[in-house]
Amino acid sequence: MPTPNWFLALLGFGHDLGLLVREALHKSANNLRLANDKADDLTIKKLTRGNPTMAAKFAELKNADSSDGE
Protein backbone atom coordinates (compact mmCIF):
# COMPACT_ATOMS: atom_id res chain seq x y z
CA MET A 1 0.00 0.00 0.00
CA PRO A 2 1.52 3.35 -1.03
CA THR A 3 2.08 6.05 1.59
CA PRO A 4 -0.62 8.74 1.47
CA ASN A 5 0.45 12.16 0.23
CA TRP A 6 -0.84 13.87 3.37
CA PHE A 7 1.49 11.72 5.47
CA LEU A 8 4.50 12.60 3.31
CA ALA A 9 3.56 16.27 3.56
CA LEU A 10 3.26 15.95 7.34
CA LEU A 11 6.75 14.45 7.52
CA GLY A 12 8.06 17.33 5.42
CA PHE A 13 6.41 19.91 7.69
CA GLY A 14 7.90 18.21 10.73
CA HIS A 15 11.37 18.35 9.20
CA ASP A 16 10.95 22.03 8.22
CA LEU A 17 9.63 22.88 11.67
CA GLY A 18 12.61 21.14 13.26
CA LEU A 19 14.98 23.22 11.16
CA LEU A 20 13.18 26.45 12.13
CA VAL A 21 13.26 25.56 15.83
CA ARG A 22 16.94 24.63 15.66
CA GLU A 23 17.75 27.92 13.92
CA ALA A 24 15.72 29.92 16.46
CA LEU A 25 17.45 28.19 19.36
CA HIS A 26 20.84 28.85 17.80
CA LYS A 27 20.02 32.56 17.39
CA SER A 28 18.72 32.74 20.95
CA ALA A 29 21.87 31.12 22.34
CA ASN A 30 23.99 33.54 20.32
CA ASN A 31 22.04 36.54 21.65
CA LEU A 32 22.47 35.29 25.21
CA ARG A 33 26.21 34.89 24.65
CA LEU A 34 26.48 38.44 23.29
CA ALA A 35 24.49 39.84 26.22
CA ASN A 36 26.68 37.95 28.68
CA ASP A 37 29.82 39.31 27.02
CA LYS A 38 28.48 42.85 27.31
CA ALA A 39 27.54 42.33 30.96
CA ASP A 40 31.02 40.99 31.73
CA ASP A 41 32.50 44.16 30.22
CA LEU A 42 30.53 46.52 32.50
CA THR A 43 32.30 48.38 35.28
CA ILE A 44 31.09 50.83 37.91
CA LYS A 45 32.96 53.58 36.08
CA LYS A 46 31.18 52.80 32.79
CA LEU A 47 27.79 52.63 34.51
CA THR A 48 28.20 55.92 36.36
CA ARG A 49 30.16 58.07 33.90
CA GLY A 50 28.26 61.26 33.09
CA ASN A 51 25.69 60.60 35.80
CA PRO A 52 25.71 63.50 38.32
CA THR A 53 23.44 61.67 40.77
CA MET A 54 25.79 58.70 41.02
CA ALA A 55 28.83 61.00 41.21
CA ALA A 56 27.24 62.75 44.19
CA LYS A 57 26.46 59.43 45.88
CA PHE A 58 30.04 58.21 45.49
CA ALA A 59 31.32 61.56 46.79
CA GLU A 60 29.09 61.14 49.85
CA LEU A 61 30.49 57.66 50.43
CA LYS A 62 34.05 58.91 50.05
CA ASN A 63 33.41 61.74 52.53
CA ALA A 64 31.76 59.34 54.98
CA ASP A 65 34.75 56.97 54.76
CA SER A 66 37.26 59.77 55.33
CA SER A 67 35.33 61.13 58.33
CA ASP A 68 35.08 57.63 59.85
CA GLY A 69 38.84 57.22 59.68
CA GLU A 70 39.57 60.39 61.71
d(CA 58, CA 65): 10
Distance from the Cα of residue 55 to its chain's centroid: 27
Could you tell me if 31 and 41 are in contact, meaning their C-beta atoms sit under 8 angstroms apart?
A: no
Residue 1 half-sphere exposure toward CB, CA atoms < 13 A? 1
* Pairwise pLDDT comparison (8 vs 50), residue with the higher score: 50
pLDDT in tens, 1-14: 777 888 888 888 88
Question: Count of residues for the chain?
Answer: 70
Please say if the pLDDT value at position 63 is more than 80: yes
State the alpha helices, DSSP H only, in 1-70.
Answer: 5-40, 44-48, 52-68
What pTM was computed for the model?
Answer: 0.50
